[in-house]
Amino acid sequence: MISREEALFTGRHTAQSGQHGNTWRVLLAEDDRSFRRYLEIFLKRAGYEVLVAVDGQAAIDLLLEGTSVDIVITDAIMPNLNGYQLCRSLKETPQLSHLPVVLLSALEPQDTQYETRYVDAFLVKPVANDELLSCLESLLSQPVKSRTLS
């Protein structure tokens, strides 16, 4: 049996089907160009369709224009609109509040407790590839209704 890492880089793994044809659609908001490109390639090889935004404002603009996605991955610290602000905006906007949001940060969760109440998952950088994929699979398998804030 091959490992998940081998499968990813040999093309033997594909993400579960989403609303958009054969794959789940991910919006990745990350200001670090090289890390954004790394995650984009990694997620594409894992079978996800990836849309990228250079910061939180670009991400929210895409979504408010009607771009349809299944999940959002965002960096915590970005210019213009940071990840915490993006998460809060998504959860407080009725037409976007159903979207699961993964926040990536170099800070530990206890250092950002207030800000993380608007996220569905918090992962500490550097995040392991398997951890990120497991997180995405878990969130995308949940019913949409259970993802919204109460």
Where are the chain's structural domains? 15-140
**Coil, helix or strand at residue 26:** strand
Q: Give 15-140's CATH code, choosing from 3.40.50.300, 1.10.10.60, 3.40.50.2300, 3.10.20.740.
A: 3.40.50.2300
For residue 143, what pLDDT is reported? 86
pLDDT for the residue 111: 55
**pLDDT value at position 2?**
36
Residue 144 confidence (pLDDT) = 73
Q: What is the mean pLDDT of each run of 10 residues along the chain (150 residues)?
A: 41 48 88 97 97 97 96 95 94 95 82 72 93 97 64
Tell which residue, 35, 32, 29, 38, has the closest CA to residue 8: 38
Position 19 scores a pLDDT of 52
Distance CA 7, CA 103 (A): 25
